[in-house]
Amino acid sequence: MGADFQSVSTSTEVVNGRRITTRKIVENGQERVEVEEDGQLKSIRVNGREQLKC
């Protein structure tokens, strides 16, 4: 068994009065990018592909 590795990078900026938070997570060779707008999850991309959100 290999060791699990996770890297998390977060950036926040204000655009037109809205707070946009981008979180990039790399875990076990997979990259996931989550984008939140004013605290609501707007998109998730896994390895560059948009994922459906419920």
User: Tens of pLDDT along 1-54?
Assistant: 566 788 999 999 999 999 999 999 999 889 999 999 999 999 999 999 999 765
Q: CA 52 to CA 7: how far, in whole Å? A: 23
Q: What is the pLDDT of residue 28?
A: 87
CB 43 within 8 A of CB 53: yes
Q: What is the pTM of this model?
A: 0.80
